Structure 1
């Protein structure tokens, strides 16, 4: 294939994903496409590989899977407009997590068809003389990638999709046998990733294509995760039941060492990848697809065909990238006065297709602990400013209003581009007045003397109003000075893996006992990331240039004794809201320890400004695995007893 952007071919055969197992839609697909002979042609292999990349958009940026990765952790709870999709995942009594309600079903439904496509490529492509091993290695990477996601989420999963272990299946099957966790790792994930490292190129075949470096990242993370599984420090049960014994005879420490060694190898042999100069640059929309991003689910505003969805209106379904809508509160409810008496009011911050704003669904929100504790240092550390939208600026002229200014807090005038509402970094010395009956923000925000912007302090964050997630915000180049197309799905790529994670994986493995190399102990590795976090080139929420280097302060503040808990704190600061958190807490068996309680304000407008509530979650051991989707269980031709045995315990 010619070297070109993946985005230019995504979606061409995205519907060629063979549904296996218990699918009742299998026969809707043309059977001739899935003959083994199809993957014995150059066109078939190339088309199959394209579909492997395309399938990422059915997982990443899909808001309900995104919810399953975050809601219920210390990072995220459900927000004001949440339905059962989100309340059930919170485990706080607002809903109940069941095989029918768990939104991890998104992963199950997308991963197995993709695995079967990879099986078909791997099994048949070697007969095509024009297909290089590097192309087959891409299929092996994605098969391992999907199995790694599945085994972390559900425990042991089937390696046989109906035609034999890791074999291409062309016939519908309504029976299934789950392999154990060690079998999935040692028969599928590790061998495929090792082959991928050997055969993949150093440079991507196409923009966004997988390489040796990408495979190293996932192999090191898989080794790390499996090492934790073998060690099982908190006696979390597994399923199907299996001894915590490695079939290859290695212990947990061997895997921690391998995780460290491969991660350090990735750092030392970066190929075309590396760290961006500042954290702000990593997530700046104009800088998408930068060299820190190893893998992403791609989208584009160049055309609807290649984007995989409408450029004008998103329906809230894959393959749209609509995850960030869930973390966006309804800022458009903010009101300002058009006259001193506020007889006429205006929506002073209107829905706009810009990184700071976007389409509000108010389904998920940060906990107060995120703002107060995770991002406690908002002075030296740039990551809070580079993660959240905390200042909402007037943009009413873009919506057609010719008002020169509006009246805002304290009846002071605010002009376009100036702050209408600010989420404060800390509690102010002067108490916020939330009871003012004249200057009503309409979202329960407060007033401070001498300030024209409404304000909300960290203790005032609630399910109704909270800082937006700037790092995932939408971006368009076709707004033409107006509001653009804020109702469309995001046309930005959804980032899946970053070069920076090599440092975290190696540091975590070091804490778990891996022998380290000179200059790369846990503290030194973490300080590479923390030092970068201290470098500012732009104050995002202040909307001003800020060329400041606080690296020395950040490094000096790093504890001498690095613990797993500290690494998890740093991972949250680096990857907040990107979908890592549930997997991080499950891997380290700290979910119930770290996320058992959280604080958040109420949903009701009339209660804004009241003291936040402490909420307790009921996180039990069986929750460390998600339930097998009920649709899968229902489709099995088994006895009820066998179906019960197929399901993860605690969800029957």
Structure 2
């Protein structure tokens, strides 16, 4: 694979990411090196730089448009907004030249190669590295290698462990080989390599992460290990003990939460509250810093949607600039004004790439009263705001023509058409000055020219230097609430549906909580959504994952790994009705196949593509 020899260049500059420590955070800063050798990595500075480069490389997988497309589109939860009509990954018209495929493919392998180098360095080869540091750094590197492989295997199936110098060995020479055969045997090795790496990480990482940094810890490793066991149990590489091991590993984290520094927050809204990014429910997140585009490796944050940009704050927003009102009917045509002036920081850029499906809104979140997670995940109300700190006088004056002021409700999305009809029917003093949209208006516009829909708020990012910028917030990868879901699913698969219900009800009880409710009111709402063993099956588990994890960049592999893409997607996402059996794996990119010296390239490709 010719793209794999990126670690030690002879003629071009390689950017490594080195670590600067501050009182509260570890800040990633780029430092260029023109040339270097393996000896550099035998030093404390070089070894640590390679580890932190592994951390920084995760930014390619969490936040940019390609990574989001691969994990969000083509699912039961999300379809395309009007800025991504007929996206190939959503309508399942995927070719081997699809650019989004290259986001993990072109980036993950060379990070794996770098990690292979330092993982395999023997203690006696190192110059000034303390043994205690080496063990922890290798544990971090092995977690990261497992995560990179997890991200590849869950999309493409089996992928090479041998990058040209042997399995899990560093390679610094160009190769035209593509060591993917036999595929079934390789998939077994892929999963075992991930499990071995994560087991080492569990044994050797610190018990807890720092309070103000997302250094890896045992909690993140236990969580991912439980998930990998579960995924292997569903795969062609399954072993009879996988579901039991998944359960045991998740329960170890749940029962040892105090030891590992993990906790469920009382209020679901606080999990994603900006400024509370380092809370104990987030086990691991890809680090970014507010208003620090340099540290976030964003050279042009207003135009770069790919590379390492965290675009989650912008991609799930509906067209809030679309609704307008008439402030002067005497002109021809009548003079109009948008309810929102520009793009206020709190609303993000209305890039309208991902829109929730009707199934997500109406079925998964059918009970929006007793379960607080919909209200704490989606925006349904927009207020009259301006992008300017001092709103233009013309905007203020035009609002007042229709009885609105800055800060008033500008438009409101109702949860039922009945509520929308009632509000629209009001007259006289009761008439609402704001615009009202009912659910039937979210989904009936076939041309998608004015899509107004509930907009995900989990990744809202106000702390940005410019209203066009990408987010500077850390992006969660693993969350303690999901650990409960993994344990519940494993319990169900082991025939312990009562145990599964108990684990899910921990999340249900939290979902019933809203600030201001009395204990009796919380208990009443919990009783309305509590589940029993009879409710538990794989589809219920997947529905509950939607309620808890909607938008958290894992839905496509979640469905694919469980063999549920073909069952659930066509009935819940009409735009994705073209899905075929071979779409449960992504195609190996054509650019990779073109580099293989073997003329029989088809045998390396996934079926049908």
- The TM-score bracket by the shorter chain reads 0.7 to 0.9
Please give the residue correspondences for 1:598-617 in structure 2 after superposition, counting only pairs within 5 Å: 598=572, 615=575, 617=577
CA distance in 2, matches of 1:315, 1:399: 28
What SS class does the counterpart of residue 484 from structure 2 fall into? helix
Q: Determine whether 1:214 maps to 2:220.
A: yes
Please give the residue correspondences for 1:521-560 in structure 2 after superposition, counting only pairs within 5 Å: 521-537=499-515, 550-560=522-532
CA distance in 1, matches of 2:160, 2:541: 33
CA distance in 1, matches of 2:381, 2:478: 28
The aligned residue for residue 583 of structure 2 is 623
The aligned residue for residue 470 of structure 2 is 489
Pairing partner for 1:647 from 590, 595, 605: 605
The aligned residue for residue 204 of structure 1 is 209
- Relative to structure 1, the CA distance from residue 499 to residue 135 in structure 2 (aligned partners, 3 Å threshold; closer, same or farther) is same
Retained in 1: the 8 A contact 2:410–2:435? yes
Pairing partner for 2:392 from 377, 385, 401: 401
Retained in 2: the 8 A contact 1:353–1:485? no
Retained in 1: the 8 A contact 2:26–2:213? no
The aligned residue for residue 8 of structure 2 is none
Pairing partner for 1:41 from 43, 58, 69: 43
CA distance in 1, matches of 2:432, 2:55: 50
Q: Determine whether 1:380 maps to 2:370.
A: yes
Pairing partner for 2:30 from 3, 9, 12: 12
CA distance in 1, matches of 2:104, 2:518: 42
The aligned residue for residue 453 of structure 1 is 434
Moved more, 628-637 or 194-203: 628-637
The aligned residue for residue 199 of structure 2 is 194
- Relative to structure 1, the CA distance from residue 386 to residue 547 in structure 2 (aligned partners, 3 Å threshold; closer, same or farther) is farther
Please give the residue correspondences for 1:338-487 in structure 2 after superposition, counting only pairs within 5 Å: 338-339=327-328, 343-355=334-346, 357-396=347-386, 398=389, 400-402=391-393, 403-404=395-396, 406=398, 412-428=402-418, 431=421, 449=427, 450-462=431-443, 463=448, 464-476=451-463, 485-487=466-468
- Relative to structure 1, the CA distance from residue 173 to residue 292 in structure 2 (aligned partners, 3 Å threshold; closer, same or farther) is same
- Relative to structure 1, the CA distance from residue 630 to residue 311 in structure 2 (aligned partners, 3 Å threshold; closer, same or farther) is closer
The aligned residue for residue 558 of structure 2 is 584
- What stretches of structure 2 of length at least 5 have no aligned partner? 1-18
Retained in 2: the 8 A contact 1:40–1:125? no
CA distance in 1, matches of 2:81, 2:565: 20
Q: Deviations over 1:132-169 (max 9, x none)?
A: 31111100111111111211111111000111110011
TM-score calculated relative to the size of structure 2 = 0.86
CA distance in 2, matches of 1:98, 1:164: 30
- Relative to structure 1, the CA distance from residue 313 to residue 465 in structure 2 (aligned partners, 3 Å threshold; closer, same or farther) is same
- Relative to structure 1, the CA distance from residue 3 to residue 301 in structure 2 (aligned partners, 3 Å threshold; closer, same or farther) is closer
CA distance in 2, matches of 1:191, 1:6: 32
CA distance in 1, matches of 2:526, 2:337: 43
The aligned residue for residue 292 of structure 1 is 281
CA distance in 2, matches of 1:71, 1:167: 34
Q: Deviations over 1:88-132 (max 9, x none)?
A: 11136xxx2111116232111221111111101101163334143
Aligned-pair distance for 1:579? Answer: 1.0
The aligned residue for residue 632 of structure 1 is 592
CA distance in 1, matches of 2:397, 2:96: 53
Pairing partner for 2:191 from 178, 185, 188: 185
What SS class does the counterpart of residue 345 from structure 2 fall into? coil
CA distance in 2, matches of 1:152, 1:42: 34
Q: Deviations over 1:378-429 (max 9, x none)?
A: 1111111111111011014746322545459xx8411111111111111215
The aligned residue for residue 609 of structure 1 is none
- Relative to structure 1, the CA distance from residue 41 to residue 394 in structure 2 (aligned partners, 3 Å threshold; closer, same or farther) is same
Q: Determine whether 1:265 maps to 2:252.
A: yes
Retained in 2: the 8 A contact 1:3–1:207? no
- Relative to structure 1, the CA distance from residue 102 to residue 305 in structure 2 (aligned partners, 3 Å threshold; closer, same or farther) is closer
- Relative to structure 1, the CA distance from residue 200 to residue 303 in structure 2 (aligned partners, 3 Å threshold; closer, same or farther) is same
- Relative to structure 1, the CA distance from residue 415 to residue 138 in structure 2 (aligned partners, 3 Å threshold; closer, same or farther) is same
Retained in 1: the 8 A contact 2:160–2:179? yes
CA distance in 2, matches of 1:114, 1:551: 49
CA distance in 1, matches of 2:417, 2:481: 32
What SS class does the counterpart of residue 144 from structure 1 fall into? helix
- Relative to structure 1, the CA distance from residue 638 to residue 6 in structure 2 (aligned partners, 3 Å threshold; closer, same or farther) is farther
- Relative to structure 1, the CA distance from residue 301 to residue 324 in structure 2 (aligned partners, 3 Å threshold; closer, same or farther) is closer
Retained in 2: the 8 A contact 1:125–1:136? no
Q: Determine whether 1:596 maps to 2:574.
A: no
CA distance in 1, matches of 2:42, 2:517: 56
What SS class does the counterpart of residue 476 from structure 2 fall into? strand
- Relative to structure 1, the CA distance from residue 555 to residue 567 in structure 2 (aligned partners, 3 Å threshold; closer, same or farther) is farther
Retained in 2: the 8 A contact 1:137–1:196? yes
CA distance in 2, matches of 1:60, 1:536: 30
Aligned-pair distance for 1:11? Answer: 4.2
What SS class does the counterpart of residue 146 from structure 2 fall into? helix
CA distance in 2, matches of 1:308, 1:264: 37
The aligned residue for residue 119 of structure 1 is 116
Aligned-pair distance for 1:51? Answer: 0.5
CA distance in 2, matches of 1:159, 1:142: 15
The aligned residue for residue 6 of structure 2 is none
Indicate the RMSD between aligned Cα atoms, in angstroms. 2.6
Pairing partner for 1:502 from 479, 483, 498: 483
TM-score calculated relative to the size of structure 1 = 0.81
Retained in 1: the 8 A contact 2:314–2:351? yes
- Relative to structure 1, the CA distance from residue 555 to residue 497 in structure 2 (aligned partners, 3 Å threshold; closer, same or farther) is farther
Retained in 1: the 8 A contact 2:104–2:152? yes
What SS class does the counterpart of residue 227 from structure 1 fall into? helix
Retained in 2: the 8 A contact 1:503–1:525? yes
